[in-house]
Amino acid sequence: MTPAIKALERQGIAHTVHRYEVAEGDDRTYGEAVAAALGADPATVYKTLVAQLDTGELVVAIVPVTGTLDLRRLAAAARAKSAEMAKPAVAERATGYVTGGISPFGQKKRLRTFADASAQLHEHVYVSAGRRGLQVRVTPSDLVAVTGATVTELGR
């Protein structure tokens, strides 16, 4: 059980845990391969990214695997001048998770979080459960409530 799953259970959040394996040599993007392994619509699978603002603050962005994070939009939402992707070691140290398995839930240090508005278009979304090969399915409203996320347009 990961800290992410423990955090959801501690807060009484309805969720389902899904294990998956991505075949080596799969020529799809990793996110698309995860969606296929889950048997899920790729638009419902979200990645958790850690970025660093020009102020030095680390923030979390939750965006669909079908798109990319617009760092300018993230910076504007965070009221900063600019943002860049955090170095993997920095993201891992702050969240307590390994890159590729960073969950928006149960992070070592709670970071300010921003979720792409597209999540609200779905009944459920999948995000990392805190380990590669493990996803958790939750409602978008629970994702926002548990993380305290600001919902905004982040993708492109």
**Tokens (6 digits) for 74:** 């993230």
- Which domain range does residue 44 map to? 3-152
pLDDT of 25 above 80? no
| pLDDT computed for residue 29 by the predictor | 78
The domain tally of the chain equals 1
Whole-angstrom distance, CA of residue 35 vs CA of residue 50: 21
pLDDT tens-digit readout, 73-109? 999 999 999 999 999 999 999 999 999 899 999 999 9
Q: What CATH number is given to the structural domain containing 87?
A: 3.90.960.10
Whole-angstrom distance, CA of residue 72 vs CA of residue 68: 12
